[in-house]
């Protein structure tokens, strides 16, 4: 039986090869996975032209996945340098890479990335449009925006972020309800500016059916971008954000009618006590489509440390039901992240994702922690390093500060509670002051 997309196959009762791989990774019954995809609650972004892909599932009942943003820009146009970062991100088991390239050899970078990457690849076509056509934003036509999306699909991109929810109506809501930080989404601001400069409707909204034609042809997953996401906690959960979310829910239903897989992008900067409500709103208004959160960043006062502010928000969001976390690095709001920034961001986001999986009861999530707890009780340093989400830093710390006694560290020495409890439980003496026998 033939099928066009993973969702089309799922609705027809077909188990695809990608479904089998994902089910095995998730330790999940493949039939349950298929039903989740058929209902739109799970996506497997897998463009037919991405031949090196090792597929991953995103959505209800699955482990929380993470995305890493990379790409070249006018100030940092070195393709090879950015591809080195991609390779490290893949080695660190990032499930997705978003190519946010906006200047220079964007097509070369994208094609080389897709050629070797087993990770899911996403892009934002509107970023590429200005450079691709070598035109000012105002002069790009509606058709040209869609043609860039088609070009990315042909190249093998697995999902595209499209800011289709900011239409003339939502733009009016934004104008009538003043914000502290206006529109902070790069793609959203570009499309809003294009609409204002040309006095026209958002092309991705007006020609959404044509966009779905492209998605159906290549099994391109839509990540419906949140143009009006809050850029400060003061703007969080406001009328502009919610109005756009309602539109994204309507577009989700239209996409599902065409068997196109959909994710919904979410905030942004959100106060910690509003995160759970935001997840609930997305799941309600967008009919359970997988939720892809950008952070969320829970306080605005920590430039240089936003990998921490976002990890706090990401853990809470994931535990409340968010499915996909976009990493944030220490360089957020400041510069293009370098290699070390990227590594810090990946580790912080992976910690948040795993913490969220424990909170929402993902199968086997706690087993990893239990193994670490046993290793700590045994004071088995090598096993602790092997189990660590990143073994490089703990090995470095242990090496830099060597204790006198191997069954301790330089913080507590022979007063180590674990060491002494082990000895007491084994019926041995505790020799804190005396030399070892």
- Compute the Cα dihedral for 405, 406, 410, 414 and give only its sign: negative
Residue ranges, comma separated, of all CATH 3.20.20.540 domains in the chain are: 6-359
Task: Return d(Cα 421, Cα 418) in angstroms, integer.
Answer: 5
Lookup: tokens for 207: 């020609």
What is the residue whose two structure tokens read 């002069």?
A: 139
Strand 58-59 relative to strand 262-266, pairing: unpaired
- The response to whether 226 counts as a known ligand-binding position is yes
> Is there a binding annotation on residue 50?
no
Q: Which of 222, 216, 186, 220 is nearest to 204 (CA)?
A: 222
CA dihedral in degrees (268, 272, 274, 277; nearest 10)? 90
- pLDDT exceeds 80 at position 434: no
Look at residue 103 in the predicted model and tell me its pLDDT.
85
Asked if residue 177 belongs to a known ligand binding site, the reply is no
Give the Cα separation of 86 and 119 in Å (integer).
Answer: 10
227 marked ligand binding residue:
yes
Q: What is the rounded average pLDDT of the residues 329-338?
A: 94
> 95: closest CA among 57, 146, 43?
57
Q: How many other C-beta atoms are found inside a 10 Å radius of the C-beta of residue 73?
A: 15
Q: Was 216 annotated as part of a binding site? A: no
State the average pLDDT over residues 121-144.
Answer: 93
187 assigned binding-site residue: yes
Q: Does CATH place domain 6-359 in 3.20.20.540?
A: yes
pLDDT score at 134: 86
Model pLDDT for residues 279-306, shown as the tens digit of each residue = 999 999 999 999 999 999 999 999 999 9
Residues 63 and 25: their CA atoms lie apart, in Å, by 10
Quote the CA–CA distance of 85 and 244 in Å, as a whole number.
34
186 annotated as a binding-site residue: yes
Residue 30: φ, ψ to 5°: -65, -30
Q: Is 152 annotated in some ligand binding site? A: no
Q: Is 7 annotated as a binding residue?
A: no
pLDDT at position 406: 83
- Which range is most confident: 81-85, 131-135, 315-319? 315-319
Q: What is the pLDDT of residue 196?
A: 97
Strand partners, 223: 161, 263
Is 333 marked within a binding site? yes
Q: How confident is the model at residue 436 (pLDDT cuts 50, 70, 90)?
A: low
- Say what angle helices 239-257 and 275-285 make with each other, to 10 degrees: 40
| pLDDT, tens only, 365-411 | 999 999 999 999 999 999 999 999 999 999 999 999 988 888 888 89
Residues 179/182/183/189 CA torsion (nearest 10 deg): 140
pLDDT at 437 over 90: no
Strands (E) in 84-226, as ranges, are: 96-99, 120-123, 159-162, 221-224
In the three-class reduction of DSSP (H, G, I as helix; E, B as strand; rest coil), residue 304 is classed as coil
- Is position 207 annotated in a ligand binding site? no
Q: What crossing angle do the helices spanning 339-359 and 79-91 adopt, rounded to 10°?
A: 30
DSSP strand pairing (324-326 vs 291-294): parallel
C-alpha atoms less than 13 angstroms from C-alpha of 314 in its C-beta half-sphere: 32
Residue 221 phi/psi, 5-degree rounding, is -80, 135
pLDDT at 23: 98
Our CA dihedral for 58, 125, 174, 40, rounded to 10 degrees, sits at -30
Residue 69 labeled ligand binder? yes
- Which token pair is 241? 């954000």
185 is in an annotated binding site: yes
163 is in an annotated binding site: yes
For the cut 70, the answer to whether the pLDDT of residue 104 exceeds it is: yes
Whether a cis peptide bond, with omega within 30° of 0, leads into 241 is no
Q: What is the mean pLDDT of the chain?
A: 95
Q: How far is CA 431 from the centre of its chain?
A: 50
Pairing of strands 291-294, 262-266: parallel
């Amino acid at each position: 039986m033939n099928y066009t997309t993973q969702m089309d196959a799922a609705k027809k009762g077909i188990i695809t090869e990608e479904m089998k791989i994902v089910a095995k990774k998730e330790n999940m019954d493949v039939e349950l996975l298929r039903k989740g995809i058929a209902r739109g609650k799970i996506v497997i972004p897998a463009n037919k032209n991405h031949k090196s892909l090792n597929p991953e599932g995103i959505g209800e009942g699955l482990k929380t996945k993470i995305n890493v943003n990379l790409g070249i820009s006018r100030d940092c146009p070195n393709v090879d340098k950015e591809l080195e970062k991609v390779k490290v991100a893949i080695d660190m088991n990032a499930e997705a890479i978003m190519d946010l390239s906006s200047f220079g050899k964007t097509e070369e970078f994208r094609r080389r990335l897709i050629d070797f990457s087993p990770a899911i690849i996403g892009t934002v076509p509107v970023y590429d449009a200005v450079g691709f056509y070598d035109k000012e934003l105002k002069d790009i036509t509606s058709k040209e925006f869609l043609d860039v999306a088609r070009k990315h699909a042909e190249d093998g991109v697995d999902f595209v972020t499209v800011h289709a929810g900011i239409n003339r109506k939502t733009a009016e809501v934004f104008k009538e309800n003043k914000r502290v930080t206006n529109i902070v989404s790069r793609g959203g601001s570009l499309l809003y500016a294009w609409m204002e400069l040309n006095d026209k409707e958002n092309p991705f909204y007006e020609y959404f059916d044509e966009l779905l034609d492209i998605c159906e042809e290549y099994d391109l997953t839509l990540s419906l971008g949140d143009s009006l996401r809050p850029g400060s906690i003061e703007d969080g959960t406001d009328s502009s954000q919610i109005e756009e979310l309602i539109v994204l829910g309507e577009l989700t239903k239209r996409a599902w009618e065409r068997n196109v897989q959909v994710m919904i992008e979410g905030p942004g900067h959100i106060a910690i006590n509003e995160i759970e409500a935001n997840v609930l709103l997305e799941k309600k208004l967008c009919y359970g489509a997988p939720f892809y959160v950008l952070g969320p960043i829970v306080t605005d006062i920590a430039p240089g440390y936003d990998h921490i502010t976002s990890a706090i928000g990401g853990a809470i969001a994931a535990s409340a039901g968010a499915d996909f976390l976009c990493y944030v690095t220490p360089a957020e709001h400041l510069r293009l992240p370098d290699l070390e920034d990227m590594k810090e961001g990946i580790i912080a986001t992976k910690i948040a994702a795993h913490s969220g999986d424990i909170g929402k009861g993902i199968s086997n999530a706690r087993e990893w922690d239990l193994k670490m707890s046993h290793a700590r009780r045994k004071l088995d340093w090598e096993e602790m390093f092997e189990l660590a989400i990143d073994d490089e830093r703990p090995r470095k710390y242990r090496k830099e500060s060597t204790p006198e006694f191997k069954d301790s560290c330089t913080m507590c020495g022979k007063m180590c509670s674990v060491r002494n409890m082990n000895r007491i439980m084994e019926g041995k003496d505790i020799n804190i002051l005396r030399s070892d026998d």
